[in-house]
Amino acid sequence: MGFVPVVDKQEFSRRGFLAGDDEARARRLRRGLLEDDTRAVWCIRGGYGSSRLLERLDLERIKARPKILIGFSDITALLLPLSAPGGFVTIHGPVVTQLPDLSQGARRWLKKLISGKQPAGRVPLGRLKTLVHGRTRGFLLGGNLSVLTSLLGTPHLPPLAGAILYLEDVAELAYRLDRMLLQLRQSGAVKNVFGVLLGSLKNCRPAGCKRYSARSVLERAVTELGVPAVSGAAFGHQGRNIALPNGLLVSLDADQGRLELLEPAVC
């Protein structure tokens, strides 16, 4: 893609199911986010463990030094706090280990998003299913539903009021997806969201039982929010993982299945 990677050998260390202990991982991440001689931090993979780093990162200091940060899935735990008010735009996009299987269209879009100085325009999310009709504007925020829900009750979930909320997940059961969105709703976290996009639900089960499939259950729960909403967007755990910028002003036309970026993602 024309970028020069710089990789710390310690990224390949192991401690249980993590790439080293929490302090070592946090130290490497802090260094990557604060150093002057690189433009971006691109996560190698998701997995689990990002939220364990939050209390070790000095988020306010990092927010004052904007840098491109790319990742998705578990990386949602880093993307959202850093794109909170006072922070900077973060990119929910493919991790490095996903790049070999990433579609050419998703790769082109990602490069346009992080290299361009103008608003990137319409997001190529594919053909979308309208759940609730309407048009709206708001700040794009979201990521993995399981990880986002796990931030409830912590200081790390940014306000979702006024957001166009996007959600994806992987290998979850339908009732768990319903329970998570119910928790978000009952907590008041999504009370004033302006719109919703549902993306990939890879290996979420049941997959093909119409009324009770994971997607139909989650679509029904989203519809109950009563805001413009669409489903089937091409982002998440799939080969066409279209990158989405957290914290950017966007417009959503649920009638036409259209999401448009109204600001540049990087300065």
Provide the 3-class DSSP secondary structure of residue 211. helix
Q: The tokens of 259 are what?
A: 């999401």
Q: The tokens of 159 are what?
A: 């306000």
* CA gap 63, 82 in Å, rounded: 6
Cβ neighbourhood burial of 226 (10 Å; 0-12, 13-18, 19+): exposed
Is there a catalytic annotation at residue 216?
Answer: no
* CA gap 166, 168 in Å, rounded: 7
Closest of 181, 183, 196 to residue 250, by C-alpha: 196
CA angle 223, 224, 229 (to 5 degrees): 30
* CA gap 47, 98 in Å, rounded: 12
Check residue 92 and report its DSSP letter. E
Provide the 3-class DSSP secondary structure of residue 248. coil
Choose, from 73, 146, 200, 231, the residue flagged as catalytic: 73
Choose, from 50, 92, 146, 237, the residue flagged as catalytic: 237
Cβ neighbourhood burial of 78 (10 Å; 0-12, 13-18, 19+): buried
Is there a catalytic annotation at residue 168?
Answer: yes
Q: How far does CA 252 lie from the centroid of its chain?
A: 17
Choose, from 83, 156, 168, 219, the residue flagged as catalytic: 168
Q: Which long-range contacts (CB under 8 A, 24 or more apart) does 27-31 make?
A: 29/53, 29/57, 29/78, 30/56, 30/57, 30/58, 30/62
Is there a catalytic annotation at residue 237?
Answer: yes
Catalytically annotated residues: 73, 168, 237
